[in-house]
Structure 1
Amino acid sequence: MTEKRPARLFMRIYFPDGRRIGPGKILLLETLRKEGSILSAAKAIGMSYRRAWLLANEMNTMFDQKVIITHPGRRGAGTELTPFGERLITLFREMEARAMQANQPFVDELMAALVEPAGDASGAGGAEEGGEPVTAR
């Protein structure tokens, strides 16, 4: 018998003007908070420095408040989250949790209707791109 793993919900917000925010950018912010630099955060999540810098800059210009502050010349601690950056993480993670909670009955129904995949009892379909989806409880 196969091991039952919880379903996961993936969320991304698409703003009307085409900009978006999802788990990848939020993961970058969380890692920046922990690591204290864009380079260290990029390495920690397997992203190029250039990509991490571009995403951080995009988020910093997306809202009416900055999400990060950089301190050029500080070695290893040149980036910190602003209060709004912290709030952005909190808002996104709360939306994810509430979406999973609201949709749990539907997810459960879909899980119950699944058939065993041919040749793969694990049900693994590879890692989700852009961060960790919310896991059902």
Structure 2
Amino acid sequence: MVPRVGALKLKPQLFCGSERAMGPGKADLLDAIAVHGSISAAGRALGMSYRYTWLQVDGMNRCFAGKLVEATPGGRGGGAVVTDYGRLVLTAYRELEAALMQTASDHPRLAELETMMRDAPLPQGGDER
């Protein structure tokens, strides 16, 4: 889930070249793998397709200096774990996310912008000013 501060939605993303190495969705996927012990079960819990989930894990493992997820072949005894290195990356990302949220919530421009906004959008085609 992408965090919000009032009307502001923050979505910090880290890039490795042109590939997204970490963002809110990948962090949520790591959390789900830790809970479910399986890449496919984590994907199902998050409403992701099997292929998409595996591609996300592969991308994270290719972008960081160490593996974030270690998988064993499926079937009996198969599964996945978030590695110690993966937990370090996840903790660092979540702390960065929290720090950005705190900075945004304390920024006077956010409060100023929120006073300039309506509580809800006008209906489409509404020209009321």
| TM-score, length basis structure 1 | 0.74
What's the secondary structure of 1:65's corresponding residue? Answer: coil
**How far has the Cα of 1:18 moved from its partner?**
1.2
Q: Which residue of 2 aligns with 1:113?
A: 116
Rounded to whole Å, the distance in 1 between the matches of 2:37 and 2:73 is 12
**How far has the Cα of 1:77 moved from its partner?**
5.6
Structure with more helix by fraction? 2
Q: Which residue of 2 aligns with 1:18?
A: 18
Q: RMSD of aligned C-alpha atoms?
A: 2.1
Rounded to whole Å, the distance in 2 between the matches of 1:85 and 1:78 is 16
**How far has the Cα of 1:62 moved from its partner?**
1.1
Identity %: 37
Give the gaps of 5 or more residues in structure 1: 121-137
Q: Which residue of 2 aligns with 1:46?
A: 47
**How far has the Cα of 1:85 moved from its partner?**
0.7
Aligned length, in residue pairs: 115
Q: Which letter maps to 1:89?
A: L
What's the secondary structure of 1:80's corresponding residue? Answer: strand
Range 60-69 or range 43-52, more displaced: 60-69
| TM-score, length basis structure 2 | 0.78
Q: Which letter maps to 1:80?
A: V
Give the gaps of 5 or more residues in structure 2: 125-129
Distance 1:100 1:57, change over 3 A: same
What's the secondary structure of 2:67's corresponding residue? Answer: coil
Distance 1:35 1:81, change over 3 A: same
Distance 1:9 1:107, change over 3 A: farther
Of structures 1 and 2, the one scoring higher in RCO (CA 8 A, sep 6+) is 1
Structure with more strand by fraction? 2
| 1:52-71 correspondence to structure 2 within 5 Å | 52-71=53-72
1:56-103 Cα offsets, whole Å, 9 max, x none, are 011112111110111224547610010111111111111111111112
